[in-house]
Amino acid sequence: MHEIIEPFSPLWWQGIVGCFVVVSLILLFFNRASSEWKLWFTKLLAYSSILVYMVTHIVAIASKEWNIQDFLPLHLCTISFFICIIVLLTKKQWMYEWVILLAMSSGLHSVLTPELSRGISNWYLFEYYFVHCSLMLVPLYLTLVLDMRPRVASWWKTFLRLQIAVVIVFSFNFFFDTNYMYLTTKPLVDNPLLIGDWPFYIFFLELFVLLHILVIYKLLPKHI
């Protein structure tokens, strides 16, 4: 069921260009918009995300494709997508720190090296790019438009929260023979950050994730 979009193929370019154009236009427009427009779009983005998630499961159930291996919200990007929805509605500080320090880079890597675990039908293709572009849009929107900032020392707290999620998902994979967060089997996609076989690629990924978090944390002004 997993499908790879080949790098530099027409579909690969369409996904990247489309994502970056949409994200850039939204940020440019709403950065100058009124408070009422910003509030309206914040709610629209949150409720649209909920709708996309629900439709995905309706499509999967209707087509008899739904299964425990691919459709539970236990991949890192899906967990982050849910956090994006909640932080848009609640402005929870730790959730903002998760999406800006962690989710944004995972969304970027997923757009650059797309692996569709649910196949490449029209809806699943749209859903894949909607989710992963949202992982870039939401943290940038909260930062540049709504002026949210990470707190001092939020980098290690975010990384620690990730480890809690990893332990929970790893345990689920063990008991239910799944591969969420790709903790059981290496992804099929050709990504230079995937070094070695199991379990070594997991340790390297943890290292690269920590480096991403630190770089983003250092670049952003802090909320004390």
Domain borders along the chain are 3-219
- Show the tokens assigned to 10: 């027409």
Please give the chain's pLDDT, 224 residues, in tens.
678 999 999 999 999 999 999 999 999 999 999 999 999 999 999 999 999 999 999 999 999 999 999 999 999 999 999 999 999 999 999 999 999 999 999 999 999 999 998 888 889 999 999 999 999 999 999 999 999 999 999 999 999 999 999 999 999 999 999 999 999 999 888 778 788 889 999 999 999 999 999 999 999 988 75
Single pTM value for the model: 0.95
Question: Residue 180: what pLDDT?
Answer: 96
Question: Residue 128: what pLDDT?
Answer: 96
19 contacts 129 by C-beta, under 8 angstroms: yes
114 contacts 12 by C-beta, under 8 angstroms: yes
DSSP letter assigned to residue 74: T
Give me the phi and psi of 78, to 5 degrees please: -70, -40
* Spatial CB neighbours of 73, under 8 Å, sequence gap ≥ 6: 53, 79, 81, 82
Question: Residue 39: what pLDDT?
Answer: 96
80 contacts 109 by C-beta, under 8 angstroms: no
3-state secondary structure of 209: helix
Q: Which of 81, 76, 77 is nearest to 54 (CA)?
A: 81
DSSP letter assigned to residue 223: B
DSSP letter assigned to residue 151: B
